[in-house]
Every structure is written in structure tokens, then in C-alpha cells.
Amino acid sequence: MAEYTGVHGIVEIDGVAIAVGEFSVKFPRGVAAFARSGKYSDLKLPGKIDCTGSLKRMMIDGDLMQKVLNTATAGSTAELHAGISPPGAATNTITDMTSEDALSSLIKVTALTAPITATGKIVLHGTDVNDDEQNETITITTLDIDGTITGTKVFKTLEFVTASDYVQVGGLLKVGSITGAAQVTTLGEAEYFTLKGKCSSGNSYIEVNLTDCWFTEGGLGFTDADSIIEETLPFVVKDLDTGTSIKWLTG
């Protein structure tokens, strides 16, 4: 016989383990009651089964909150310009991009073949995911060869950049987009996912598998510096008759 504590538990969404997560699930059953004459009580028969639960974890990104709103658009890697010449101190240059499609991503600049030896800036000119004009200024610090600096705004297109002041003798500065810039810009149907909670100790385990789950609520709350920001997301299962399995083994 195995006894379990929280240390034996693991939670997965679509096969990926959730770090620093708590998971709870319940299967409440309704009561079909019928009043009877000559009796002090109703006749009660087992009714419908539901599945309710919640997932709580330390807030580390927006992936789970995103599932409440719509499917996220994820950034992608693309090369926008293979090499911009450094303008030099007290000088400005304007360079059109070879490819303007930034794939709704963050923009990264990379020092090629030579280090950057003096600070400056690059101003990105393009559009956001709503096709509105957008600019972002990236401060160029001293960088080693292959050193990178990444912006903080998501660009759908990047049309040209204005560079000023930085010095890079014999080198170029590459401009490209990166993966990892996920976002939700329009509301839509909640995203479905598969959820697995498992407790295991030695050869013994209890495992709950739920398919086509969706979160009914999500959000973000800020507290003080002594509190870790967490998110609590209640969920339901689309079709409990086909989307639930419970396995266990006592080793």
C-alpha cells in the first residue's frame, strides 16, 4: 500500500509538465429526487455526473490565461536584413528591410563578425498586429561578436530601421524576428486541452486523464513583494462520457 503527499503529484497539460502547479478535481453526482405521498422523504436516485476542478500555479507566463480568451499567435524566426553597416559616432543611417514580414514577433539585433565598441540606438519602424504604425527604440550597448539585443514590442511588419551613433569596425548588425513572442489580440472560443494529474510512489499510482478541458476563468492579481503571483484557473470537461479515465495500480 502507498500513501501519497503533494510531493508525489505531477500535472500535465497536453503532455507538458506544469512547473510549481497544484491540481484538484472533483466528480459531483446530482440527485434525481421524486416526492412521494405517505412518505416523509423523497425517492432519490443517482443523477448526472459532472467534473469540476482547478489548476493553480506560480505565474511564469501568459500561456494558461491565454487559453481562456482564444488561441494565441506565437512569434516565429525570420531574417529581415542580413547586415546593416554601423553608422559611426554622431551619424544616422536609414535602412530598408530586405523582408518586411516580421511574423508577429519580437525583433532581435545581432552583432556580426565584429564587436560593437560604442553605444547608440536603432529605431524600428513597422506595424503592429492590428496593422497600425508602430515604432520602437532599442538601445545598442557594447556587444561581443554574435551578441544580441531584443526589443519588447511585437511587430507584424518591419519596414525600415534608423540607426545612430553605434560603432562596429568591420562588422554588420543583423536584424531578425524571434520565436517566443506569444499574444492574444482578439477574443474567441476558449482553447481545449488535455489534462493529466498523477500521484505515484514506487509502483503504485493514481492517474486521472481528462480530454477536451477548457478553463472557465483566468486572470492576474498583483500583491506585495513578499507574495508570489499565482493564477488559479477553474476548468470543466466538454464531454465527460468520452473525455474521462481514471487508472490506478497498487504495487
* Paired strand residues for 230: 58
- What's the average model confidence in pLDDT over 158-180? 87
Is the same domain home to 163 and 212? no
Residue 37 lies in a domain: no
Share of the chain above pLDDT 70, in %: 97
In angstroms, rounded to a whole number, what is the distance separating the alpha carbons of residues 100 and 133? 13
CB atoms inside a 10 Å sphere around CB 205 = 17
Is the same domain home to 15 and 92? no
Task: Assess whether pLDDT exceeds 90 at residue 97.
Answer: yes
* Residue 17: per-residue pLDDT: 85
Name the DSSP letter for residue 143. B
More confident residue, 84 or 124: 124
pTM over 0.85: no
Residue 119 lies in a domain: yes
Is the same domain home to 66 and 190? yes
Question: Average model confidence (pLDDT) for the chain?
Answer: 88
Residue 231 lies in a domain: yes
Is the same domain home to 66 and 109? no
Cell of 244: 474521462
Residue 206 lies in a domain: yes
- 214 burial type by CB count under 10 A (0-12 exposed, 13-18 middle, 19+ buried): middle
Residue 104 in contact with residue 155, Cβ under 8 Å? yes
Residue 138 lies in a domain: yes
Task: Assess whether pLDDT exceeds 80 at residue 120.
Answer: yes
Given 178, 197, 230, the domain boundary residue is 178
Is the same domain home to 168 and 132? yes
Q: What are the Cα distances from residue 41, in Å, to 30, 37, 46, 190?
A: 17, 9, 15, 43
CB atoms inside a 10 Å sphere around CB 86 = 24
Given 178, 197, 213, the domain boundary residue is 178
Residue 40 lies in a domain: no
- What's the average model confidence in pLDDT over 207-211? 95
* Residue 181: per-residue pLDDT: 65
Spell out the residues 6+ positions from residue 32 whose beta carbon is closer than 8 angstroms to its own.
44, 45, 46, 47
| pLDDT confidence band for 182 (50 / 70 / 90) | low
Is the same domain home to 170 and 101? yes
Range of the domain at 94: 78-178
Of 49, 30, 11, 4, the closest CA to residue 233 belongs to 11
Residue 55 lies in a domain: yes
More confident residue, 67 or 34: 34
* Residue 197: per-residue pLDDT: 92
pLDDT digits (tens, 9 = 90+) for 39-57: 999 999 999 999 999 998 8
Residue 190 lies in a domain: yes
Task: Assess whether pLDDT exceeds 80 at residue 20.
Answer: no
